[in-house]
Amino acid sequence: MKDIPAPGHTEISVCGLHRRFREGAREHVVLNDVNLDVLRGETVALRGRSGSGKSTLLNLVGGIDVPDSGRVVVAGVDVTKLDEHRRTLFRRQHIGFVYQSFNLVPTLTVADNVRLVLELNKVPEGDARARIQQLLEAVNLADRAQSYPDVLSGGEQQRVAIARALSHRPSVLLADEPTGNLDDTTAETVLGLLDDLVRKSGGTMLIATHSATVASMCDRVIELHNGKLEERA
Amino acid sequence: MPATWRASLGYLLRHPWQLFLSMLGVGIGVAVIVAVDLANASSRKAFLLSMDAVTGEATHQVVGSPAGFDESVYVDLRVHHGFSAIAPIVEGTAMIDEVSLQLLGVDLFAESEIRAFTGLRADAGSDTESLFREFLVTPGVVSMSDQLAARLGIAVGDGFTLVADGREHRARLLATIEDPDGRFANLLVADIATAQEWLGTAGQLSRIDVRIAADDGPALARLEASLPGSVRLLTAAGRTRATAEMSKAFMTNLTAMSLLALLVGLFLIFNSVSFSVLQRRNLIGILRGIGVTRQQLLVIILAEAGLLGLVASVLGIAFGVLLGEQLLALVSRSINDLYFRVSVTAVSVAPASLAKGLIAGIGAALAAAAAPALEATSYQPRLALTRSTLERRTRSLLPYVTLGGLVVIFAAVVLLAVSGRNLVAGLTAVFLLILGFSSCVPYAVRHLSRWLEPVARRFAGMPARLAIGGIAAGLSRTGVAVVALAVALSATIGVSVMVDSFRGSVNRWLEQSLQADVYAGVQRGALDAGLIDALQRIDGVEATSTSRRGWIEESRGRTQLIAIRMAPESYAGTELLDADPAEVWPAWESRDAVLVSEPYGYYNDVGAGSRITLPTDRGPRQFEVLATYQSYDVNASAVMMSRVTYERYFDDDGVDTIGLYLESGVRADDIVARVQALSVGRQNIRVDSNARIRELSLDIFDQTFVITNVLYWLAMGVAFIGILSAMLALQLERARELATLRALGMTPRQVGSMITLQSGGIGLLSGLAAIPLGLVMAWVLIEVINRRAFGWQIDMSVAPGILASSVAFAVITAILAGIYPARRAARSEPALAMREE
């Protein structure tokens, strides 16, 4: 695990990014010369219509996907130059994911879902236990540590997902429609928690969202339109 | 086609692997049952045809003592009592180029009333009348079927050498017999005088075939009254049936093995078909939501399953016919070794066998689809059709399923206790045990995996915990795969322990019963008296024993009669089960008394102290049963009497085997060589040392069980496919979970290892779960099935190696089955986790 980084430096640098997909004979350009810099500690909302390429950009930043051309540098590492194995290890150490449909492992308890990434990062058991306790208390789920995901509400599941995403103190947290499957009240609670924890940890967050409420909470809003990024006030 | 049908079928067609595995499961299950059924039916048909060839139109047969009876009986019946529809027969064995054939000596003129040897063919120009004349007057001429002649490479007119009664004789093929259906495949026909000369039974007949209308009571009564006391009249059909009955137990056991393969196949079908239904939960939810009724959905799903079952069954039947040809060779070899000579080279495709396969395949597919279809369509349209709902339902059903299983096991135990000696009831109980046990396996798996989970985690971390935990968590999927493998494995354990115990018992019995150092003898006929004398005088031979074996024919079947003159050391070779040897042996040597083999005692419900009646040359006589002796002789039902008693009641001084007891320091191999040298020019005899006979006997034993090995390998193959399909289905369902793990930082190798470990875990749990059922099955096979089928009492012994290797085999099989799913899982795209459905 890393120390909380000092704000001000560029944490995510996207430069000349191109990504297109082929659908039969047709080619669909999703990202067309995208450039973006996100500072350390900054939270940025990524907006755009369905299919505009928000998830694709998150995948490229997280090292899940590779661009056709361009560069993605995260936490000082040029992700586009890494092979598949190194990208996996990079994700494991530097990236936290929060998904719209939570994606908790159904066969693991709440505590073990959080523990999963800590174990992958070989965090000693004592430290891991303390970290899990701390995070579950932070998301108000300390009493559900031994429950399985299928008995939790949607809001509770997303809180577990947030705890899991932050467990290894990632440099960057990528969230794809984190409140998309939640009602307004629950969404507000979850969002507040996410914002609070990310800011406290000094992490950088990139959130793909349709929601104006989510966007209003972020330091900056950018919009993807026809494969290009546009800065919004 | 309506859109609802297209929607459902479209799913299947878009998952061709799953469709392929479902069809493979049904197909293999059907193929195995069809193959065994065809092999059994073909062997039986060939046997009945060959019996028919020998029996002809005869309705009754006159039979005598094991050595036959005087031919004057025939003359008396024909000349003095006026019976015309009768034909004398001399029967024996002849070898041509190591091919063992049935030698039938007939009187061609009398034959016209019983057997029409039509279609006799010789050289061009020979008419039937001149053939008949030549057959009658020329010594050493024979006839055989055209196929047999072609097989032996003998043409009409060719001379050749054959061996009968241990002696070489010259013969000539006079004519061939047309034999389109192969009923004469093993038959060598000669004139009665020729056969008598070759078999050394001058003046003796084996039987007289009789044709009398069944309703002609007075004629039958008159015939019976005309017979001397030493011979008796039996119905021909009864005799054929009694011989066929001998192999019934063997065939019943084979059928049971094929049903076992089908049962494992059924698990596979259930696995595959139920997956294909369950994976369409969302589609079913959507269709229900837009107004498709439960009944409509059920019809669609069941019609699909029926169609799948039909197509796969047809393919399975085609494969089954091919497989049947391979099995046929094994089955007929076992029958030849154990029961009677049967020559069958082609599978005769019985419509009943095909129908059985078709019904089993379609029925199993429908039954497998019905349960999950009912469950999936019972949900309200919007009710979360989630995995967790399904798993929760599975978990809540588990105690009831387990309880049901225990009730079925109890029913099996009761059935075993009350079914007496009924073999079919015994086999039914075995299947109930399997069914009951299968129902308890998922419960055991859930608890075993919970126990293994922390252990796995301690040694291999979270991926291992995920792997093992996933087995219990996905019980609705893994449970069926575990059950399929556990049942196949338990059958392996059960049969292996049974065969191993049986082999051990046979080996001990051979060691004990083969007391002499060297045995010399002839298979049929008698040893030359001069040769016996010479053998007894060989330097280094301390003592000798002799034996004579023959068959007593009765309407209820055949019993082997063994007459023995014991050497002092011989007595210890016979283990008496229910009486004191010190009292038995003196009485056996002096009184009208016999010993009965264990199977004879079991089937006829007699033992020490009973009395039995045997037909003798002095008419029916009562004998005291002094004891039951242990025997694993393939001619299981036997009566042993002393030579002195035998000679009192049977006019036969022949000896077919002599045992030589050697002085200490004399090598058996030297004596074998000496015996061989002495026999040259006198008689072709078989001579072997004690050790060699034991070795040969165990070889035959092992050959007999080759068919069993083949069947349980098939069952294991089916289980392998079961695991493969379960792991693929699990992986399909967990695609998003696996993608999330990849996104969170698990490497492809870690994901692949996790799936491999999970497969290995399924193998381990199946292996552990299979041990108790395997041992119970072994016990039932030994104490119930073998006892009821063959009358043998086997000492059960469990070699730990069998259990350990079964568990290891299960783990290896499961890991192999998991390789492909693991490779696919390792290639999971982490981006899938981001994508919404």
Averaged pLDDT of chain A:
87
The verdict on a CB contact (< 8 Å) between B465 and A112 is yes
More confident residue, B100 or B670: B670
pLDDT band at B646 (very low <50, low <70, confident <90, very high): very high
The verdict on a CB contact (< 8 Å) between B836 and A100 is yes
CA distance B376 to B387: 12
| Chain A, nearest residue to B832 by Cα | A64
pLDDT of B477 higher than 80: no
Among the partner residues A65, A84, A93, nearest to B831 by beta-carbon distance: A65
pLDDT band at A221 (very low <50, low <70, confident <90, very high): very high
| Strand ranges, E, within B211-350 | 232-235
Residue carrying structure tokens 């469990």: B798
Reading the block at residue B82, the tokens are 């006026």
| Chain B, nearest residue to A90 by Cα | B745
Mean pLDDT of B482-492: 77
Task: Name every residue whose Cβ is closer than 8 Å to that of residue A40 and which is 6 or more positions away in sequence.
Answer: A5, A6, A7, A8, A9, A10, A11, A171, A202, A204
Nearest to B730 by CA among B278, B364, B305: B278
Mean pLDDT of B807-819: 84
| Chain A, nearest residue to B461 by Cα | A119
Query: What was the pLDDT predicted at A8?
Result: 61
HSE-CB for B40 with a 13 A CA cutoff: 22
Interface probe for A, chosen from B741, B742, B744 (most Cβ of A below 10 Å), is B744
3-state SS class at B596:
strand
Q: Are strands A43-47 and A204-208 parallel, antiparallel or unpaired?
A: parallel
In the A/B pair of chains, how many CB contacts fall below 8 A?
Answer: 85
CA A15, distance to chain mean position in Å, is 20
For A102-106, A180-184, B271-275, which range has the lowest pLDDT when averaged over its residues?
Answer: B271-275
| Chain B, nearest residue to A113 by Cα | B462
Mean pLDDT of B98-126: 72
Chain A contacts in chain B segment 746-765 (CB below 8 A): 746-748, 750
Query: What was the pLDDT predicted at B281?
Result: 65
B474 touches chain A (CB under 8 A): yes
First to last CA, chain B: 27
Query: Backbone phi, then psi, for B210, in 5-degree steps?
Result: -130, 140
Instruction: Give A118→chain B minimum CA distance, Å.
Output: 10
Query: What was the pLDDT predicted at A2?
Result: 42
Per-residue pLDDT of B330-375, as tens digits, reads: 666 665 555 555 555 566 777 888 888 888 888 888 887 787 677 6
Residue carrying structure tokens 């696995």: B271
pLDDT of B660 higher than 90: yes
B387 touches chain A (CB under 8 A): yes
Query: Backbone phi, then psi, for B202, in 5-degree steps?
Result: -55, 135
| Chain A, nearest residue to B469 by Cα | A107
For A80-94, B23-37, B150-164, which range has the lowest pLDDT when averaged over its residues?
Answer: B23-37
Query: What was the pLDDT predicted at B661?
Result: 92
A23 touches chain B (CB under 8 A): no
Instruction: Give A103→chain B minimum CA distance, Å.
Output: 7
User: Does the predicted TM-score (pTM) go above 0.80?
Assistant: no
Query: What was the pLDDT predicted at A3?
Result: 41
pLDDT band at B383 (very low <50, low <70, confident <90, very high): very low
More confident residue, B390 or A106: A106
The verdict on a CB contact (< 8 Å) between B830 and A64 is yes
Mean pLDDT of B677-687: 85
Per-residue pLDDT of A100-111, as tens digits, reads: 888 888 777 899
pLDDT band at B278 (very low <50, low <70, confident <90, very high): low
Helix axes B281-289, B351-378, angle to 10 degrees: 60
User: Could you give the percent of chain B with pLDDT greater than 70?
Assistant: 80
Query: Backbone phi, then psi, for A218, in 5-degree steps?
Result: -85, 160
CB atoms within 10 A of CB B104: 23
More confident residue, B725 or B619: B619
Query: What was the pLDDT predicted at A47?
Result: 92
Under 8 Å between Cβ of B276 and B307:
no
pLDDT band at B391 (very low <50, low <70, confident <90, very high): low
B831 touches chain A (CB under 8 A): yes
Averaged pLDDT of chain B:
80
Mean pLDDT of A161-175: 91
> Which residues of chain A are within 8 Å of residue B387 when distances are taken between CB atoms?
106
CB atoms within 10 A of CB A100: 21
pLDDT band at B92 (very low <50, low <70, confident <90, very high): confident
Highest mean pLDDT among B243-252, B359-368, B484-493, B527-536: B527-536
CA distance B283 to B278: 10
Nearest to B168 by CA among B97, B252, B82, B72: B97
pLDDT of A40 higher than 70: yes
Among the partner residues A107, A120, A149, nearest to B744 by beta-carbon distance: A120
Query: What was the pLDDT predicted at B385?
Result: 44
CA distance A192 to A216: 12
Query: What was the pLDDT predicted at B247?
Result: 60
Mean pLDDT of B112-125: 62
Query: What was the pLDDT predicted at B314?
Result: 93
Query: What was the pLDDT predicted at A36?
Result: 93
Instruction: Give B452→chain A minimum CA distance, Å.
Output: 15
Per-residue pLDDT of B553-593, as tens digits, reads: 877 777 889 999 998 888 888 889 989 999 999 999 989 99
A116 touches chain B (CB under 8 A): yes
Residue carrying structure tokens 């007075």: B218
pLDDT band at B715 (very low <50, low <70, confident <90, very high): low
The verdict on a CB contact (< 8 Å) between A88 and B736 is no
Reading the block at residue B482, the tokens are 């575990």
pLDDT of B836 higher than 60: no
Mean pLDDT of B518-539: 87
pLDDT of A67 higher than 60: yes
Per-residue pLDDT of B143-165, as tens digits, reads: 988 888 888 899 888 899 998 88
pLDDT band at A117 (very low <50, low <70, confident <90, very high): confident
Interface probe for B, chosen from A56, A85, A88 (most Cβ of B below 10 Å), is A88
> Which residues of chain B are within 8 Å of residue A109 when distances are taken between CB atoms?
none
User: % helix / strand / coil in chain A, to the nearest 5?
Assistant: 40, 30, 35
User: % helix / strand / coil in chain B, to the nearest 5?
Assistant: 60, 15, 20
Instruction: Give A96→chain B minimum CA distance, Å.
Output: 7
Among the partner residues A58, A59, A92, nearest to B745 by beta-carbon distance: A92
Among the partner residues A115, A120, A149, nearest to B746 by beta-carbon distance: A120
Query: What was the pLDDT predicted at B347?
Result: 64
A83 touches chain B (CB under 8 A): no
Among the partner residues A97, A107, A117, nearest to B473 by beta-carbon distance: A107
